[in-house]
Structure 1
Protein backbone atom coordinates (compact mmCIF):
# COMPACT_ATOMS: atom_id res chain seq x y z
CA UNK A 1 0.00 0.00 0.00
CA UNK A 2 1.06 3.56 -0.61
CA UNK A 3 1.71 5.94 2.28
CA UNK A 4 -1.63 7.61 1.59
CA UNK A 5 -3.47 4.27 1.66
CA UNK A 6 -1.80 3.30 4.93
CA UNK A 7 -2.81 6.63 6.43
CA UNK A 8 -6.42 6.08 5.34
CA UNK A 9 -6.44 2.61 6.93
CA UNK A 10 -5.05 4.04 10.19
CA UNK A 11 -7.60 6.87 10.24
CA UNK A 12 -10.47 4.49 9.53
CA UNK A 13 -9.31 2.21 12.33
CA UNK A 14 -8.96 5.16 14.71
CA UNK A 15 -12.58 6.12 13.99
CA UNK A 16 -13.81 2.59 14.70
CA UNK A 17 -11.79 2.36 17.91
CA UNK A 18 -12.99 5.77 19.11
CA UNK A 19 -16.60 4.86 18.35
CA UNK A 20 -16.24 1.55 20.18
CA UNK A 21 -14.92 3.28 23.31
CA UNK A 22 -17.67 5.90 23.27
CA UNK A 23 -20.47 3.44 22.53
CA UNK A 24 -19.32 1.27 25.44
CA UNK A 25 -19.04 4.17 27.87
CA UNK A 26 -21.95 6.40 26.83
CA UNK A 27 -24.31 4.25 24.80
CA UNK A 28 -25.27 4.50 21.17
CA UNK A 29 -27.89 7.26 21.20
CA UNK A 30 -25.84 9.38 23.59
CA UNK A 31 -22.76 9.37 21.33
CA UNK A 32 -22.54 11.91 18.51
CA UNK A 33 -20.53 11.89 15.29
CA UNK A 34 -18.73 15.02 16.50
CA UNK A 35 -17.64 13.21 19.67
CA UNK A 36 -16.38 10.22 17.68
CA UNK A 37 -14.43 12.52 15.37
CA UNK A 38 -12.90 14.40 18.30
CA UNK A 39 -11.89 11.16 20.03
CA UNK A 40 -10.27 9.98 16.78
CA UNK A 41 -8.50 13.36 16.53
CA UNK A 42 -10.04 14.28 13.20
CA UNK A 43 -12.63 16.79 12.06
CA UNK A 44 -16.29 15.95 11.52
CA UNK A 45 -15.84 16.58 7.81
CA UNK A 46 -13.07 13.98 7.70
CA UNK A 47 -15.32 11.51 9.52
CA UNK A 48 -17.87 11.81 6.72
CA UNK A 49 -15.24 11.04 4.09
CA UNK A 50 -14.95 7.58 5.72
CA UNK A 51 -18.46 6.86 7.01
CA UNK A 52 -21.86 8.31 6.19
CA UNK A 53 -23.20 7.87 9.73
CA UNK A 54 -22.44 6.35 13.11
CA UNK A 55 -24.64 3.39 12.10
CA UNK A 56 -22.17 2.68 9.31
CA UNK A 57 -19.26 2.66 11.78
CA UNK A 58 -21.00 -0.21 13.57
CA UNK A 59 -20.69 -2.29 10.39
CA UNK A 60 -17.25 -1.18 9.20
CA UNK A 61 -16.21 -4.69 8.11
CA UNK A 62 -19.38 -5.67 6.22
CA UNK A 63 -18.04 -4.68 2.80
CA UNK A 64 -14.89 -6.75 3.36
CA UNK A 65 -17.00 -9.86 3.96
CA UNK A 66 -18.95 -9.35 0.73
CA UNK A 67 -15.74 -8.73 -1.22
CA UNK A 68 -14.22 -11.92 0.26
CA UNK A 69 -17.26 -13.96 -0.79
CA UNK A 70 -17.23 -12.54 -4.33
CA UNK A 71 -13.47 -13.16 -4.62
CA UNK A 72 -13.91 -16.76 -3.40
CA UNK A 73 -16.58 -17.29 -6.07
CA UNK A 74 -14.32 -15.82 -8.77
CA UNK A 75 -11.34 -17.94 -7.63
CA UNK A 76 -13.26 -21.21 -7.29
CA UNK A 77 -11.82 -24.48 -8.55
CA UNK A 78 -13.66 -25.99 -11.55
CA UNK A 79 -15.20 -28.78 -9.44
CA UNK A 80 -15.69 -26.79 -6.20
CA UNK A 81 -19.31 -26.90 -4.98
CA UNK A 82 -21.08 -23.56 -4.28
CA UNK A 83 -21.42 -24.24 -0.55
CA UNK A 84 -17.69 -24.97 -0.27
CA UNK A 85 -16.95 -21.64 -1.92
CA UNK A 86 -18.98 -19.76 0.71
CA UNK A 87 -17.37 -21.68 3.57
CA UNK A 88 -13.91 -20.91 2.17
CA UNK A 89 -14.83 -17.21 2.00
CA UNK A 90 -15.83 -17.28 5.67
CA UNK A 91 -12.53 -18.88 6.63
CA UNK A 92 -10.61 -16.26 4.64
CA UNK A 93 -12.42 -13.43 6.43
CA UNK A 94 -11.77 -15.11 9.78
CA UNK A 95 -8.06 -15.37 9.05
CA UNK A 96 -7.79 -11.78 7.83
CA UNK A 97 -9.89 -10.11 10.53
CA UNK A 98 -11.03 -10.68 14.11
CA UNK A 99 -14.14 -8.51 13.63
CA UNK A 100 -16.55 -11.37 14.40
CA UNK A 101 -15.10 -11.66 17.89
CA UNK A 102 -14.43 -7.98 18.48
CA UNK A 103 -15.78 -5.54 21.07
CA UNK A 104 -17.66 -3.80 18.26
CA UNK A 105 -19.32 -7.10 17.31
CA UNK A 106 -20.53 -7.52 20.90
CA UNK A 107 -21.87 -3.95 20.84
CA UNK A 108 -23.69 -4.65 17.56
CA UNK A 109 -25.52 -7.55 19.14
CA UNK A 110 -26.55 -5.41 22.12
CA UNK A 111 -27.64 -2.46 19.97
CA UNK A 112 -29.50 -4.68 17.50
CA UNK A 113 -31.82 -5.50 20.38
CA UNK A 114 -32.22 -1.97 21.68
CA UNK A 115 -31.57 0.60 18.91
CA UNK A 116 -33.99 0.70 15.95
CA UNK A 117 -31.53 2.64 13.74
CA UNK A 118 -28.86 -0.05 14.16
CA UNK A 119 -31.41 -2.82 13.59
CA UNK A 120 -32.59 -1.12 10.40
CA UNK A 121 -29.07 -0.61 9.10
CA UNK A 122 -28.18 -4.24 9.85
CA UNK A 123 -31.22 -5.51 7.97
CA UNK A 124 -30.38 -3.37 4.93
CA UNK A 125 -26.72 -4.44 4.91
CA UNK A 126 -27.64 -8.11 5.24
CA UNK A 127 -30.27 -7.90 2.51
CA UNK A 128 -27.90 -6.12 0.10
CA UNK A 129 -25.04 -8.53 0.87
CA UNK A 130 -27.21 -11.60 0.32
CA UNK A 131 -28.46 -10.30 -3.02
CA UNK A 132 -24.98 -9.40 -4.22
CA UNK A 133 -23.41 -12.73 -3.20
CA UNK A 134 -26.34 -14.74 -4.59
CA UNK A 135 -26.14 -12.88 -7.91
CA UNK A 136 -22.45 -13.74 -8.29
CA UNK A 137 -23.06 -17.34 -7.18
CA UNK A 138 -25.83 -17.90 -9.74
CA UNK A 139 -23.68 -16.39 -12.51
CA UNK A 140 -20.74 -18.62 -11.55
CA UNK A 141 -22.79 -21.83 -11.64
CA UNK A 142 -25.05 -21.57 -14.71
CA UNK A 143 -27.09 -24.71 -15.20
CA UNK A 144 -26.35 -25.83 -11.65
CA UNK A 145 -27.95 -23.03 -9.60
CA UNK A 146 -30.98 -20.94 -10.46
CA UNK A 147 -31.18 -17.45 -8.98
CA UNK A 148 -33.69 -18.73 -6.43
CA UNK A 149 -31.43 -21.62 -5.41
CA UNK A 150 -28.43 -19.31 -5.14
CA UNK A 151 -30.54 -17.00 -2.96
CA UNK A 152 -31.57 -19.90 -0.72
CA UNK A 153 -27.99 -21.12 -0.31
CA UNK A 154 -26.70 -17.63 0.44
CA UNK A 155 -29.56 -17.04 2.90
CA UNK A 156 -28.73 -20.26 4.76
CA UNK A 157 -25.09 -19.22 4.92
CA UNK A 158 -25.70 -15.65 6.12
CA UNK A 159 -28.40 -16.81 8.54
CA UNK A 160 -26.05 -19.36 10.12
CA UNK A 161 -23.36 -16.72 10.67
CA UNK A 162 -25.85 -14.20 12.07
CA UNK A 163 -27.57 -16.71 14.34
CA UNK A 164 -24.34 -18.11 15.74
CA UNK A 165 -22.90 -14.66 16.44
CA UNK A 166 -26.08 -13.51 18.18
CA UNK A 167 -25.82 -16.39 20.66
CA UNK A 168 -22.04 -16.27 21.09
CA UNK A 169 -21.78 -12.55 21.65
CA UNK A 170 -24.75 -12.49 24.00
CA UNK A 171 -22.23 -13.60 26.60
CA UNK A 172 -19.69 -10.78 26.38
CA UNK A 173 -16.96 -12.97 27.87
CA UNK A 174 -17.00 -15.07 24.67
CA UNK A 175 -15.80 -12.16 22.56
CA UNK A 176 -12.49 -12.10 24.43
CA UNK A 177 -11.33 -15.01 22.26
CA UNK A 178 -11.90 -14.24 18.57
CA UNK A 179 -10.52 -17.66 17.57
CA UNK A 180 -13.19 -19.42 19.67
CA UNK A 181 -15.92 -17.24 18.15
CA UNK A 182 -14.70 -17.93 14.62
CA UNK A 183 -14.48 -21.68 15.29
CA UNK A 184 -18.05 -21.72 16.58
CA UNK A 185 -19.28 -19.74 13.56
CA UNK A 186 -17.51 -22.17 11.21
CA UNK A 187 -19.18 -25.09 12.99
CA UNK A 188 -22.58 -23.41 12.68
CA UNK A 189 -22.14 -22.76 8.95
CA UNK A 190 -20.87 -26.29 8.36
CA UNK A 191 -24.08 -27.61 9.93
CA UNK A 192 -26.32 -25.16 8.04
CA UNK A 193 -24.74 -25.95 4.68
CA UNK A 194 -24.22 -29.70 5.20
CA UNK A 195 -27.18 -30.55 2.99
CA UNK A 196 -25.66 -28.49 0.16
CA UNK A 197 -22.31 -30.26 0.48
CA UNK A 198 -23.74 -33.75 -0.13
CA UNK A 199 -22.98 -35.11 -3.60
Structure 2
Protein backbone atom coordinates (compact mmCIF):
# COMPACT_ATOMS: atom_id res chain seq x y z
CA UNK A 1 0.00 0.00 0.00
CA UNK A 2 2.79 2.40 0.94
CA UNK A 3 4.64 1.63 -2.31
CA UNK A 4 1.52 2.16 -4.40
CA UNK A 5 0.82 5.47 -2.67
CA UNK A 6 4.37 6.63 -3.31
CA UNK A 7 4.15 5.71 -6.98
CA UNK A 8 0.84 7.55 -7.28
CA UNK A 9 2.31 10.66 -5.66
CA UNK A 10 5.32 10.58 -7.98
CA UNK A 11 3.10 10.16 -11.02
CA UNK A 12 0.92 13.04 -9.88
CA UNK A 13 3.96 15.28 -9.33
CA UNK A 14 5.33 14.39 -12.79
CA UNK A 15 1.99 15.26 -14.37
CA UNK A 16 1.81 18.53 -12.45
CA UNK A 17 5.30 19.46 -13.59
CA UNK A 18 4.42 18.54 -17.17
CA UNK A 19 1.48 20.96 -17.00
CA UNK A 20 3.71 23.74 -15.67
CA UNK A 21 6.38 23.12 -18.32
CA UNK A 22 3.80 23.03 -21.10
CA UNK A 23 2.15 26.24 -19.92
CA UNK A 24 5.43 28.14 -19.60
CA UNK A 25 6.50 27.04 -23.08
CA UNK A 26 3.17 28.03 -24.63
CA UNK A 27 3.04 31.37 -22.82
CA UNK A 28 6.50 32.18 -24.16
CA UNK A 29 5.75 31.14 -27.73
CA UNK A 30 2.14 32.25 -28.13
CA UNK A 31 1.62 34.74 -25.31
CA UNK A 32 -0.63 34.45 -22.29
CA UNK A 33 -3.82 35.54 -24.05
CA UNK A 34 -3.00 33.34 -27.04
CA UNK A 35 -2.87 30.20 -24.90
CA UNK A 36 -5.94 28.37 -23.61
CA UNK A 37 -6.34 25.79 -20.88
CA UNK A 38 -7.18 23.29 -23.64
CA UNK A 39 -3.86 24.13 -25.33
CA UNK A 40 -1.95 23.51 -22.10
CA UNK A 41 -3.77 20.25 -21.42
CA UNK A 42 -3.09 19.00 -24.94
CA UNK A 43 0.59 19.88 -24.73
CA UNK A 44 0.84 18.07 -21.38
CA UNK A 45 -1.06 15.09 -22.85
CA UNK A 46 -3.90 15.24 -20.35
CA UNK A 47 -7.58 16.15 -20.52
CA UNK A 48 -8.96 19.55 -19.59
CA UNK A 49 -10.75 18.07 -16.57
CA UNK A 50 -7.44 16.66 -15.36
CA UNK A 51 -5.86 20.11 -15.71
CA UNK A 52 -8.42 21.51 -13.26
CA UNK A 53 -7.57 18.80 -10.74
CA UNK A 54 -4.12 20.41 -10.50
CA UNK A 55 -4.79 24.11 -11.06
CA UNK A 56 -7.92 26.22 -10.58
CA UNK A 57 -7.15 28.56 -13.48
CA UNK A 58 -4.66 29.37 -16.21
CA UNK A 59 -2.87 32.00 -14.13
CA UNK A 60 -2.46 29.60 -11.20
CA UNK A 61 0.06 27.63 -13.28
CA UNK A 62 2.43 30.60 -12.96
CA UNK A 63 2.48 30.30 -9.14
CA UNK A 64 3.34 26.63 -8.62
CA UNK A 65 5.48 27.02 -5.49
CA UNK A 66 3.59 29.75 -3.65
CA UNK A 67 1.92 27.53 -1.05
CA UNK A 68 5.18 25.68 -0.38
CA UNK A 69 7.08 28.93 0.13
CA UNK A 70 4.50 30.31 2.55
CA UNK A 71 4.56 26.98 4.39
CA UNK A 72 8.36 27.19 4.59
CA UNK A 73 8.20 30.63 6.23
CA UNK A 74 5.55 29.42 8.69
CA UNK A 75 7.72 26.40 9.48
CA UNK A 76 10.70 28.70 10.11
CA UNK A 77 8.60 30.62 12.62
CA UNK A 78 7.57 27.40 14.37
CA UNK A 79 11.19 26.16 14.55
CA UNK A 80 12.62 29.48 15.73
CA UNK A 81 15.58 29.51 18.08
CA UNK A 82 15.35 31.32 21.41
CA UNK A 83 17.80 34.01 20.23
CA UNK A 84 16.09 34.70 16.89
CA UNK A 85 14.21 37.92 16.33
CA UNK A 86 11.27 38.15 13.90
CA UNK A 87 13.44 39.66 11.15
CA UNK A 88 16.09 36.95 11.66
CA UNK A 89 13.46 34.27 11.03
CA UNK A 90 12.27 35.87 7.79
CA UNK A 91 15.81 36.23 6.48
CA UNK A 92 16.64 32.66 7.46
CA UNK A 93 13.56 31.45 5.59
CA UNK A 94 14.80 33.33 2.52
CA UNK A 95 18.27 31.80 2.78
CA UNK A 96 16.79 28.33 3.16
CA UNK A 97 14.49 28.86 0.18
CA UNK A 98 17.48 29.93 -1.92
CA UNK A 99 19.32 26.76 -0.99
CA UNK A 100 16.40 24.37 -1.34
CA UNK A 101 16.59 24.00 -5.11
CA UNK A 102 13.16 25.52 -5.68
CA UNK A 103 12.64 27.98 -8.52
CA UNK A 104 12.64 31.07 -6.34
CA UNK A 105 14.42 33.04 -9.05
CA UNK A 106 14.07 30.74 -12.03
CA UNK A 107 12.51 30.91 -15.50
CA UNK A 108 8.92 30.55 -14.25
CA UNK A 109 9.45 33.45 -11.85
CA UNK A 110 10.94 35.53 -14.66
CA UNK A 111 7.97 34.83 -16.93
CA UNK A 112 5.46 35.53 -14.14
CA UNK A 113 7.00 38.88 -13.29
CA UNK A 114 7.07 39.91 -16.94
CA UNK A 115 3.47 38.87 -17.54
CA UNK A 116 2.32 40.63 -14.36
CA UNK A 117 3.32 43.92 -15.97
CA UNK A 118 1.09 43.48 -18.99
CA UNK A 119 -1.64 40.96 -18.13
CA UNK A 120 -4.24 42.17 -15.59
CA UNK A 121 -5.28 38.62 -14.63
CA UNK A 122 -1.71 37.66 -13.74
CA UNK A 123 -1.08 40.96 -11.94
CA UNK A 124 -4.29 40.54 -9.95
CA UNK A 125 -3.41 36.99 -9.02
CA UNK A 126 0.08 38.03 -7.92
CA UNK A 127 -1.28 40.82 -5.73
CA UNK A 128 -3.91 38.55 -4.22
CA UNK A 129 -1.43 35.80 -3.39
CA UNK A 130 1.09 38.24 -1.92
CA UNK A 131 -1.62 39.80 0.23
CA UNK A 132 -2.82 36.38 1.43
CA UNK A 133 0.75 35.28 2.17
CA UNK A 134 1.49 38.51 4.03
CA UNK A 135 -1.60 38.11 6.21
CA UNK A 136 -0.88 34.47 7.05
CA UNK A 137 2.79 35.08 7.89
CA UNK A 138 2.13 38.26 9.89
CA UNK A 139 -0.50 36.53 12.03
CA UNK A 140 1.83 33.63 12.83
CA UNK A 141 4.74 35.97 13.52
CA UNK A 142 2.68 38.11 15.87
CA UNK A 143 1.46 35.01 17.72
CA UNK A 144 5.07 33.86 18.12
CA UNK A 145 6.25 37.26 19.43
CA UNK A 146 3.30 38.80 21.32
CA UNK A 147 5.62 40.96 23.45
CA UNK A 148 7.50 42.41 20.46
CA UNK A 149 4.92 42.77 17.72
CA UNK A 150 1.41 44.07 17.54
CA UNK A 151 -0.74 43.47 14.46
CA UNK A 152 0.43 46.66 12.74
CA UNK A 153 4.15 46.08 13.27
CA UNK A 154 3.89 42.45 12.22
CA UNK A 155 2.09 43.43 9.02
CA UNK A 156 4.65 46.18 8.32
CA UNK A 157 7.62 43.84 8.79
CA UNK A 158 6.21 41.07 6.61
CA UNK A 159 5.10 43.58 3.99
CA UNK A 160 8.60 45.05 3.90
CA UNK A 161 10.10 41.57 3.58
CA UNK A 162 7.86 40.38 0.74
CA UNK A 163 8.05 43.74 -1.01
CA UNK A 164 11.85 43.73 -0.86
CA UNK A 165 12.08 40.23 -2.33
CA UNK A 166 9.62 41.01 -5.13
CA UNK A 167 11.12 44.41 -5.88
CA UNK A 168 14.67 43.08 -6.04
CA UNK A 169 13.65 40.23 -8.32
CA UNK A 170 11.81 42.58 -10.66
CA UNK A 171 15.00 44.52 -11.32
CA UNK A 172 17.51 41.66 -11.16
CA UNK A 173 15.60 39.45 -13.60
CA UNK A 174 15.52 42.30 -16.12
CA UNK A 175 19.30 42.28 -16.37
CA UNK A 176 20.82 40.56 -19.43
CA UNK A 177 21.85 36.99 -18.63
CA UNK A 178 20.13 37.14 -15.25
CA UNK A 179 19.61 33.37 -15.13
CA UNK A 180 23.11 32.47 -16.30
CA UNK A 181 24.33 32.40 -12.70
CA UNK A 182 21.39 31.57 -10.38
CA UNK A 183 23.65 31.52 -7.34
CA UNK A 184 24.82 35.08 -7.93
CA UNK A 185 21.28 36.26 -8.63
CA UNK A 186 19.97 34.74 -5.41
CA UNK A 187 22.88 36.18 -3.44
CA UNK A 188 22.20 39.68 -4.78
CA UNK A 189 18.50 39.30 -4.01
CA UNK A 190 19.29 38.21 -0.46
CA UNK A 191 21.72 41.10 0.04
CA UNK A 192 19.18 43.60 -1.27
CA UNK A 193 16.48 42.21 1.03
CA UNK A 194 18.79 42.28 4.03
CA UNK A 195 19.68 45.88 3.22
CA UNK A 196 16.00 46.85 2.95
CA UNK A 197 15.27 45.25 6.33
CA UNK A 198 18.29 46.76 8.08
CA UNK A 199 16.14 49.24 10.07
CA UNK A 200 14.32 46.24 11.53
CA UNK A 201 17.65 44.59 12.40
CA UNK A 202 19.03 47.65 14.18
CA UNK A 203 15.83 48.90 15.82
CA UNK A 204 15.90 48.12 19.54
CA UNK A 205 13.44 45.41 20.45
CA UNK A 206 11.48 45.61 17.20
CA UNK A 207 13.30 43.24 14.89
User: Would the TM-score normalized by the shorter structure come out above 0.5?
Assistant: yes
Whose helix fraction is larger, Structure 1's or Structure 2's?
A: 1
Structure 1 segments unaligned to the other structure (5+ residues)? none
Check whether the contact 1:131–1:151 (CA below 8 A) recurs between aligned residues: yes
Moved more, 183-192 or 90-99: 90-99
| Greater RCO structure (CA 8 Å; 6+ sep) | 1
Provide the rounded CA distance (Å) in 1 between the counterparts of 2:35 and 2:184: 30
Aligned to 1:20: 24
State the SS of the aligned residue for 1:100: coil
Q: TM-score by structure 2 length?
A: 0.92
2:61 maps to 1:57: yes
Q: Deviations over 1:116-169 (max 9, x none)?
A: 100000000000000000000000001111111110100110010010010011
Provide the rounded CA distance (Å) in 2 between the counterparts of 1:23 and 1:13: 15
Aligned CA-pair RMSD: 1.3
Residue of 124, 129, 152 corresponding to 2:128: 124
Aligned to 2:76: 72
Aligned to 2:194: 190
- Going from structure 1 to structure 2, the CA distance change for 1:113 and 1:56 (only over 3 Å counts) comes to same
Check whether the contact 2:134–2:155 (CA below 8 A) recurs between aligned residues: yes
Q: TM-score by structure 1 length?
A: 0.95
Residue of 111, 114, 123 corresponding to 1:110: 114
Structure 2 segments unaligned to the other structure (5+ residues)? none
2:141 maps to 1:137: yes
Moved more, 109-118 or 96-105: 96-105
Check whether the contact 1:55–1:118 (CA below 8 A) recurs between aligned residues: yes
Q: Deviations over 1:26-79 (max 9, x none)?
A: 100001111111111111111101100111011111111100100000000012
Report the CA distance between 1:172 and its aligned residue: 5.3
Provide the rounded CA distance (Å) in 2 between the counterparts of 1:23 and 1:59: 14
Report the CA distance between 1:175 and its aligned residue: 2.2
Check whether the contact 1:100–1:165 (CA below 8 A) recurs between aligned residues: no
**Count of aligned pairs:** 199
Check whether the contact 2:97–2:104 (CA below 8 A) recurs between aligned residues: no
